[in-house]
């Protein structure tokens, strides 16, 4: 059995889901596995291990 893995690449789009299913079926897979991720259901800002920071600094210098 071959299972095509899509993960979160569908980004919640039903049209993208159908396109993945069609492509994976055409490649000969027997099944397709999808995943969803809802961050708010998995963590919160009140977790004691979180380290708060005051802001983001640019990682790369600004190109001019």
The candidate with the shortest Cα–Cα distance to 24, out of 13, 34, 38, 14, is: 34
**Residue 34 pairs with which residues in a beta bridge?**
7
Distance CA 15, CA 6 (A): 14
**Site of tokens 């708060």:** 52
Dihedral over Cα of 42, 44, 49, 51: its sign: positive
Per-residue pLDDT tens over the stretch 10-36: 677 888 889 989 999 999 999 999 877
Highest mean pLDDT among 2-11, 33-42, 53-62: 2-11
Are 4 and 24 in contact by the 8 Å Cβ rule? The answer is yes
**pTM above threshold 0.75:** no
Per-residue pLDDT tens over the stretch 42-56: 777 777 776 666 665
């Amino acid at each position: 059995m071959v299972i095509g893995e899509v993960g979160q690449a569908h980004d919640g789009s039903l049209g993208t889901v159908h396109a993945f299913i069609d492509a994976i079926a055409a490649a000969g897979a027997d099944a397709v596995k999808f995943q969803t991720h809802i961050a708010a259901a998995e963590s919160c800002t009140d977790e004691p291990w979180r380290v708060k920071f005051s802001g983001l600094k640019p990682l790369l210098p600004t190109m001019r």
